[in-house]
Amino acid sequence: MTKRILTLALAVVMTAALLTGGGQSAFAAGENGSAEEITVGIASDLDSSLDPHVSSSLAGTREVLFNIYEGLLKPDTQGNLVPAVAESYTVNETADEYAFTLRKGVRFHDGNEVTVGDVVYSLTRAAGLETGEPLVATLAGISSVEAADDDTVVVTLSAPDAEFAAYMTVAIIPEGSDPADGIIGTGPFKYVSRSPQENVVIERFNDYWGEPAKCARVTFKIIEDGQAMVMSLHSGAIDMAAHLDASQAAELSELNVLEGSMNLVQALYLNNARPPFDDVRVRQALCYAIDKHMVIDLACDGHGTALGSSMYPAFGRFFDESLTDYYEADVEKAVELLTEAGYSEADPLRFTIAVVEAYTPHVNTAQAIVELLRQTGMVEAEILPMENATWYSEAYQGRDFDATITGMDASTLTASALLARFVSDNAKNFIGFDSADYDAAYAAAVSATDTDEQTEDFRQCERILTENAANVYIQDLADFVVTQTDIEGYEFYPLYVMDMSTVRRVG
Amino acid sequence: MAVTLLLISLLAFLAFQLIPGDPVTKLLGSDYTPERAEALREEMGLNRNVLVRYWDWLTGFVTGDMGDSYNYGMTVRQVMEGKGAVTAALSLMAWLLVIAISIPLGITLARWQGGRLDRVFVAMNQVFMAIPPFFLGILFTYVFGLVLKLFVPGGFVRPQDSFWGFLGYLVFPALAIAIPKAAMVTKLLRSSIMGQMGQDYVRTAYSRGNSRWSVIRMHVLRNAILPVVTFVAMTLADIVAGSIVVEQVFALPGLGRLLLASIGNRDYPVVQCIVVIIAFIVVFMNYLADIVTQYIDPRIRLD
């Protein structure tokens, strides 16, 4: 009898000890340390390499590195280029020579002052002038980088490029350094540590040349599970998270919910290089059949900005709003075009939509599209869920797909960042778009020295994409940032970046 | 044992040859060009024959060099640092919870067979067995985390910061894993005891004037617990595997998350290492179960 009681008692005590132990210490952990520390939830781990010149496949890496590295220039929240490591710059009349004057007193995180040598080294390395292979593709046009004097660097281009200044956001690193051995930049935060699949920690850089960061330390905590992210915000384990979708934001309405946009072009990208989408009538039929406003309502609760070409509104003058509804939703027209192309209800158009299953907004969009297409009675689309690596190797790199839903973003504030990939011989032209008109318009845009002329040429590119129904353009996804109520100062950029320097805890 | 591990590691290595995509795919992402990919493959030694690569990995592994992670620019050892401890602590805690709950409960239920507690258990057992740990996890985060505020969901504490805080955070994830398993073990033990109760030796024991409790305690338990021991030992292997899902729900930086991410990144060296560790646990627990069984019932001999 006593033994029985003892056994039971022991079990109870053990469990209770564990439980109470949990209760007490967990409370201590909830009070996020000092008021100057901010914890941010991010949905995926950063890339393997934090080398700013090895252009990364993950926008999520770039948005964190934005806090650590800076270029001669940097983008601001309005989409303007503002001086950073450089104080000012001049362009010659033919737009093929750019002279940058360095700002005095800019320091690297290791305490050394930035010299022209560092700038020449960084640009030479990024443009691959010594290896012959540019690390940053946009810098391929650089023919030489030279120090004119102690505080001026002259960059010469092989062909005129009026947009070139925007590429000078490329990171400046110390002369002779390799980011694999140590991450040193000039940004408002310095790198502290990372633990794979766990976190990345950055700290305020006190010798920053500009406005110092408002918080002392930021921990980016990797929380892959969407539900866990919401719970962590509820519980206060993290202070903020970006890139949440409408349904997650709705669950967190008691916190600060900010709505911006993702700055990407979400579309049903079509493989123009092979049947059935090598036929423009079929592509146009899809554009008529898919009511993008309806898709946004169905898949994203109405949050998102409808798009009609490979350009989003944050690009200002480059964005042509009239293209958004170039194809008014019209099922009859779609049916007519499909009939013309040889399809019928008995012999419907069949194709697959490849989509990375981890990206919920894309999956939801795919489902909405399949439904809308079914209403024509002539289209049977099937969703092909894929793992990320499979999508890259088969769809994107292998170009073996019918249609796919993804979002294309811009790494720099230039129209080329979005439009270059549709030039017929571009290595990133994964949809196999092939139009002589487009190639000509794009070439004209890139070499134009006059801003208005260039803007018009890029808009012409967008029109060609729309008229040819290169893809079924849907939207720029809404981006929800949710913060605890005592966090202030987060600002959206027209690029995919997360600027932590203005974020602070109040009260 | 060594042969089993060798085979498993070879199979894991070969499995990667069958699925699409390789480390280069992920590393280059949207910057992919066939030339770049080829150059990178050359640089990483991925162009060599798969068996040569396996042999390289194996010889490194047995000499304690687990290689470099493709994805993190660190050695596998650095990548795994701290992750193993999280999974080990979580699994062990869940396992101990299974034992602490199910053994006393199973015996108690068998003792008062048909009693109130027994009837409630039989009715509820199916439910508990069927609940997937991730769902329990979400339920726990909501009830104990957000409503009762017994812990901070997502507020994982590193053991080096606070050891008790670390264990404390693991209690609910461990419970989420343990409850379905505990339900199974309890049921198994209860029916195993019941099965023994009909045996001749039990009648003899009764006839000597023993009460039901002392019959169970002195005679039946030793026999009834045998199948349970094997099952409990194998549960640990299950628990390690189950922790992969629960780590996601509770945002725990353990091996499970690392394994999933590394498979996604085609980071073979990390995957190989984790697979071998998990395989080792399974094989080892099996072996341990044999030893314990033999200890309880000396009639069973190990070869």
Whether B272 shows a pLDDT value over 80: the answer reads yes
ipTM: 0.74
Q: Which two tokens stand for residue B113?
A: 């067979």
pLDDT of residue A195: 86
Chain B residues within 8 A of A394 when measuring between CB atoms: 20-21
Mutation site for B-interface testing, chosen from A10, A195, A431 by largest number of B Cβ within 10 Å: A195
- Cβ contacts (< 8 Å) between B264 and chain A: which residues? 387-389
Element (H, E) at A134: none
Separation CA B91–CA B241 (nearest Å): 9
Given a cut of 70, whether residue A385 has pLDDT beyond it is: yes
User: Which among B79, B213, B251 has CB closest to A232?
Assistant: B251
Contacts of A385 in chain B (CB under 8 A): none
A 385-404: CB under 8 A from B: 387-390, 392-394, 396-397
pLDDT for B290? 82
Residue A34's pLDDT band (boundaries 50, 70, 90)? Answer: low
Provide the whole-model pTM: 0.80
Q: Is A285 in a helix, a strand, or coil?
A: helix
CB contact under 8 A, A390 and B32: no
Residue B29: band (very low, low, confident or very high) from pLDDT cuts 50, 70, 90: low
d(CA B100, CA B103): 6
Q: Which of A26, A195, A388 sits opposite B264 (nearest CB)?
A: A388
> How many CB pairs below 8 A link A and B?
191
- Select from A2, A265, A393, A411 the residue whose CB has the most chain B CBs within 10 Å, as the one to mutate to test that interface: A393
Share above pLDDT 90 across residues of chain A, in percent, rounded to a whole number: 63
At residue B302 the predicted structure's pLDDT band, cuts being 50, 70 and 90, is: low
Among chain B residues, the shortest Cα distance to A199 is held by: B253
pLDDT digits (tens, 9 = 90+) for A280-311: 999 999 999 999 999 999 999 999 999 999 99
A2 touching chain B per CB within 8 A: no
Tokens of residue B123, six digits? 């009715």
Instruction: Tell me which residue in A7, A238, A392 faces B29 most closely, judged by beta carbons.
Output: A392
Q: Assign A18 a pLDDT band (cuts: 50, 70, 90).
A: very low
A17 to chain B: closest CA residue = B168
Lowest-pLDDT choice from A130-134, A498-502, B167-171: A130-134
pLDDT at B146: 80
* Chain A contact probe: residue of B161, B171, B255 with most A CBs at under 10 A: B171
Encode pLDDT of B71-113 as tens digits.
Answer: 777 888 888 888 888 888 999 999 999 999 998 988 888 888 8
Calpha distance A195→B63 (Å, rounded)? 25
| Contact yes or no for B154 and A427 at CB 8 A | no
| CB atoms A228 and B251 under 8 Å | yes
- Contact residues, chain A, for B171 at CB < 8 Å: 18-19, 21-22
CA distances in angstroms from A61 to A13, B113, B276, listed in the order given? 47, 60, 30
Q: What is the DSSP string of A327-372?
A: S---HHHHHHHHHHTT--SSS-EEEEEEEETT-HHHHHHHHHHHHH
Residue A248 in tokens = 């997650």
Contact A227 B172 (CB under 8 A): no
Distance from CA of B189 to the nearest CA of A (A): 16
CB contact under 8 A, A48 and B146: no
Sign of CA dihedral B88, B94, B95, B97: positive
Count the residues in chain B: 303
- A418 touches A407 (CB < 8 A): no
Closest CA to A225 of A480, A44, A64, A477: A44
Tokens of A9: 């008692």
Cα–Cα–Cα angle for A247, B170, A47, rounded to 5 degrees: 60
CA A373 to chain centre: 29
**What's chain A's average pLDDT?**
88
Query: Would you call A22 and B138 a contact, using CB atoms and an 8 Å cutoff?
Result: no
Going by C-alpha positions, the residue among A490, A503, A505 that lies closest to residue A243 is A490
CA distance A210 to A187: 9
CB spacing of A228 vs B152 below 8 angstroms: no
Q: What is the distance of C-alpha B229 from the center of its chain?
A: 16
Q: Measure B7 CA to nearest chain A CA, in Å.
A: 26
Distance CA B30, CA B53 (A): 27
Which positions 130-169 of A are in contact with B (Cβ < 8 Å)?
A: 137
Rounded-to-integer distance, Cα A456 and Cα B196, Å: 88
Q: What is the mean pLDDT of residues A169-195?
A: 91
Q: Rg of chain B over CA atoms, in angstroms?
A: 24
The pLDDT score that the predictor gives to residue A56 is: 55
Q: Which long-range contacts (CB under 8 A, 24 or more apart) does B208-216 make?
A: B212/B111, B213/A1, B213/A4, B213/B111, B216/B107, B216/B110, B216/B111
The whole-number pLDDT of residue B119 equals 84
Q: Which of A376, A405, A381 is nearest to A289 (CA)?
A: A376
**Is B165 close to A26, i.e. CB distance below 8 A?**
yes
Residue A482: strand, helix, or coil? strand
| Whole-number Å distance between alpha carbons of B175 and A504 | 37
Q: Is A389 in Cβ contact with B26 (below 8 Å)?
A: yes
Q: DSSP letter string over A173-184?
A: --TT--TTT---
- Is residue A231 less than 8 Å (CB to CB) from chain B? yes
A48/B70 touch (CB, cutoff 8 Å), yes or no = yes
Mean pLDDT highest for which of A125-139, A457-471, B32-46? A457-471
Mind listing the pLDDT tens digit for each residue in A102-118?
999 999 999 999 999 99
Burial of residue B18 (CB within 10 Å: 0-12, 13-18, 19+) is: exposed
Residue A485 sits at the chain B interface (C-beta within 8 Å) = no
Provide the pLDDT for residue A22.
Answer: 37
Put simply, the answer to whether A57 touches B26 (Cβ < 8 Å) is yes
Residue-wise pLDDT tens digits, A190-224: 999 988 888 999 999 999 999 999 999 999 998 88
Q: Chain A interface, mutation test: which of B38, B72, B167, most A Cβ atoms within 10 Å? A: B72
Q: What is the rounded distance in angstroms from the CA atom of residue A399 to the CA atom of residue B227? A: 54
Selected for mutation to probe chain A from B151, B161, B166, B215 (highest A CB count within 10 Å) is B151
Q: Check whether A145 has a pLDDT greater than 80.
A: yes
What is the model's pLDDT at position A98?
94
Q: Does A80 touch chain B (CB under 8 A)?
A: no
Q: For residue A386, what are its two tokens?
A: 């894929």
DSSP code for B159? T
Tell me the CA end-to-end span of chain B in Å, nearest whole number: 14
pLDDT value of residue A26:
35
Tokens 């990407």 belong to which residue?
A264
Q: Does residue A29 carry a pLDDT above 50?
A: no
Cβ <8 Å between B22 and A227:
no
Cβ distance A82 to A203 under 8 Å?
A: no
Chain A residue at shortest CA distance from B108: A4
Residue of B98, B150, B152, B167 to mutate, interface with A, max A Cβ within 10 Å: B152
Q: How many CB atoms neighbour CB A505 within 10 A?
A: 19
Amino acid (1-letter code) at residue A390: T
- Between A349 and A397, the more confident residue is A349
CA angle A55, A60, A62 (to 5 degrees): 40
pLDDT tens per residue, range B48-63: 788 888 888 888 888 8
Q: pLDDT, tens digit, for every residue of B173-206?
A: 999 999 999 999 998 998 888 888 888 888 888 8
Quote the CA–CA distance of A200 and A192 in Å, as a whole number: 8
